[in-house]
Chains A and B, each alone.
Chain A
Amino acid sequence: MKFLFPIAQRIFYAIALLIAVLVLNFSMLHLAPGDIADTIAQASGGADAEVIEQIRKDYGLDQPFYIQLLKYIGNVLAFDLGHSFFYNQPVTDLILEKLPATLLLVITAQILALIVGVLLGVFSARNPNGLASYVVTFLALFGYAAPVFWTGILLLIAFSLKIPLFPVAGMIDVTVEGGFFARAADIALHLVLPVITLASIFLALYSRLCRASMLEVLGSDYVRTAKAKGLAEREVVFKHALKNALSPVVTLAGLQFSAVVSGAVLVETVFSWPGLGTLALQSIIARDTPTILGILFFSAFVVIVGNLLTDLVLRLIDPRVGSKA
Chain B
Amino acid sequence: MNRFIRNLAVATALATAMVGSALAEAHKKGGTLTMAIPQTPRHLNPAVQSGTATGVPGTQLFAAPLRYDEDWTPQPYLAESWETSDDGLTVTLKLVKNATFHDGKPITSEDVAFSVDTIKANHPFKTMFAPVTEVQTPDAHTAVLKLSQPHPALMLAMSSQLMPIIPKHVYGDGQDPKAHPQNSENVVGSGPFKLVEFKRDQHVILERYDGFFMEGRPYLDKIVMRIIKDGSARAIGLENGELQLSSFENNVRNVNRLKKADNLDVTADGYAAIGPIDWLAFNTKSSPTADKRVRQAIAYAVDKNFILKAIMLGAAQQANAPIHPGSPLSDNSVNAYDLDVDKANKILDDAGYAKGGDGMRFKLNIDYGWPAVKPQVEYVKAALKKVGIDVTVRASADFPTWAKRVSGHDFDMTWDTVFNWGDPVIGVHRTYQSSNIKKGVIWSNTQQYENSRVDELLEMAGKEADPAKRKALYAEFQQIVAEELPVYWTNTLPYHTISNKEVGNPPRGIWATSSPMDRVYLK
Query: Residue B242 at the A interface, CB < 8 A?
Result: yes
For A272, the chain B residues whose CB sits under 8 A away are 201-202, 226-230, 233
B427 lies within 8 A of A46 (CB): yes
Across the interface, B229 reaches (CB within 8 A) one of A40, A43, A269, namely A269
B233 lies within 8 A of A168 (CB): yes
Query: Residue A278 at the B interface, CB < 8 A?
Result: yes
0/1 string, A158-169, CB within 8 A of B gives 1 = 001100100111
A87 vs B232: C-alpha distance when bound (angstroms): 26
Contact of A33 with B229 at beta-carbon distance under 8 Å, contacts A41-B442, A175-B224 already known: no
0/1 string, A112-156, CB within 8 A of B gives 1 = 000000000000000000000000000000000000000001001
Query: Residue B421 at the A interface, CB < 8 A?
Result: yes
A34 lies within 8 A of B403 (CB): yes
Name which of A17-25, A49-57, A238-246, A309-317 contacts chain B: A49-57
A174 lies within 8 A of B242 (CB): no
CB distance from B226 to the nearest CB of A (A): 6
B201 lies within 8 A of A278 (CB): yes
For A168, the chain B residues whose CB sits under 8 A away are 228, 233-234, 236-237, 240, 242-243
A49 vs B124: C-alpha distance when bound (angstroms): 9
Name which of B48-56, B289-297, B337-345 contacts chain A: B48-56
Query: Residue B317 at the A interface, CB < 8 A?
Result: no
B239 lies within 8 A of A38 (CB): no
Name which of A3-11, A213-221, A226-234, A279-287 contacts chain B: A279-287
0/1 string, B21-38, CB within 8 A of A gives 1 = 000000000001010000
Query: Residue A171 at the B interface, CB < 8 A?
Result: yes
Query: Residue A63 at the B interface, CB < 8 A?
Result: no
Interface centre among A44, A156, A161, A285 (most CB of B within 10 A): A44
A44 vs B443: C-alpha distance when bound (angstroms): 11
A269 vs B38: C-alpha distance when bound (angstroms): 12
A32 vs B430: C-alpha distance when bound (angstroms): 27
For A170, the chain B residues whose CB sits under 8 A away are 202-203, 226, 228
Contact of A156 with B236 at beta-carbon distance under 8 Å, contacts A46-B443, A50-B126, A174-B205 already known: yes
A35 vs B203: C-alpha distance when bound (angstroms): 27
Query: Residue A294 at the B interface, CB < 8 A?
Result: no
B419 lies within 8 A of A46 (CB): yes
A161 lies within 8 A of B239 (CB): yes
Interface centre among A32, A94, A169, A284 (most CB of B within 10 A): A169
A48 lies within 8 A of B127 (CB): yes
CB distance from B150 to the nearest CB of A (A): 21
B441 lies within 8 A of A52 (CB): yes
CB distance from A88 to the nearest CB of B (A): 5
| Residues 24-72 of A at the B interface (beta carbon under 8 Å) | 32-35, 38-52
Q: How many residues of A contact B (CB 8 A)?
A: 50
Contact of A33 with B233 at beta-carbon distance under 8 Å, contacts A41-B124, A161-B240 already known: no
Query: Residue A271 at the B interface, CB < 8 A?
Result: yes
A34 lies within 8 A of B399 (CB): yes
A282 vs B41: C-alpha distance when bound (angstroms): 11
For A51, the chain B residues whose CB sits under 8 A away are 123-124, 126
B50 lies within 8 A of A44 (CB): yes
| Residues 168-207 of B at the A interface (beta carbon under 8 Å) | 178-179, 183-184, 197, 199-203, 205
| Residues 235-270 of B at the A interface (beta carbon under 8 Å) | 236-237, 239-240, 242-243
Contact of A169 with B226 at beta-carbon distance under 8 Å, contacts A32-B397, A174-B203 already known: yes
For A49, the chain B residues whose CB sits under 8 A away are 436, 438, 440-441, 444
A274 vs B179: C-alpha distance when bound (angstroms): 23
B400 lies within 8 A of A287 (CB): yes
A274 lies within 8 A of B42 (CB): no
Query: Residue B398 at the A interface, CB < 8 A?
Result: yes
A166 vs B240: C-alpha distance when bound (angstroms): 11
A157 lies within 8 A of B236 (CB): yes
For A278, the chain B residues whose CB sits under 8 A away are 201, 229
B126 lies within 8 A of A169 (CB): no
0/1 string, B431-455, CB within 8 A of A gives 1 = 0000010101111100000000000
A87 vs B240: C-alpha distance when bound (angstroms): 32
Query: Residue B471 at the A interface, CB < 8 A?
Result: no
For B179, the chain A residues whose CB sits under 8 A away are 88
For A153, the chain B residues whose CB sits under 8 A away are 232-233
| Residues 385-409 of B at the A interface (beta carbon under 8 Å) | 397-405, 407
A274 vs B229: C-alpha distance when bound (angstroms): 11
CB distance from B51 to the nearest CB of A (A): 5
A284 vs B399: C-alpha distance when bound (angstroms): 10
Query: Residue B418 at the A interface, CB < 8 A?
Result: yes
| Residues 250-290 of A at the B interface (beta carbon under 8 Å) | 269-272, 274, 278-279, 282, 284-285, 287
B200 lies within 8 A of A87 (CB): yes
A46 lies within 8 A of B430 (CB): yes
CB distance from B208 to the nearest CB of A (A): 15
B42 lies within 8 A of A43 (CB): yes
Query: Residue A301 at the B interface, CB < 8 A?
Result: no
B400 lies within 8 A of A48 (CB): no
Query: Residue A86 at the B interface, CB < 8 A?
Result: yes
Q: A168-B237, A272-B228 are in contact. List 10 more A-B contacts (CB 8 A).
A: A34-B401, A38-B400, A43-B49, A44-B49, A46-B443, A47-B125, A48-B127, A170-B202, A170-B228, A175-B34
Spell out A's residues near B (CB within 8 Å).
32-35, 38-52, 86-88, 94, 97-98, 153, 156-157, 160-161, 164, 167-172, 174-175, 269-272, 274, 278-279, 282, 284-285, 287
Cβ-closest 10 pairs across A and B? A34-B400, A47-B124, A44-B50, A46-B443, A38-B403, A33-B404, A34-B404, A48-B126, A168-B237, A274-B201
25 A-B residue pairs with Cβ-Cβ distance under 8 Å, sorted by A, are A34-B400, A34-B404, A41-B442, A43-B51, A44-B49, A44-B124, A45-B52, A45-B419, A46-B430, A46-B442, A47-B441, A47-B443, A52-B440, A88-B43, A88-B178, A153-B233, A161-B240, A168-B243, A171-B202, A174-B205, A272-B226, A272-B229, A272-B233, A274-B201, A287-B398
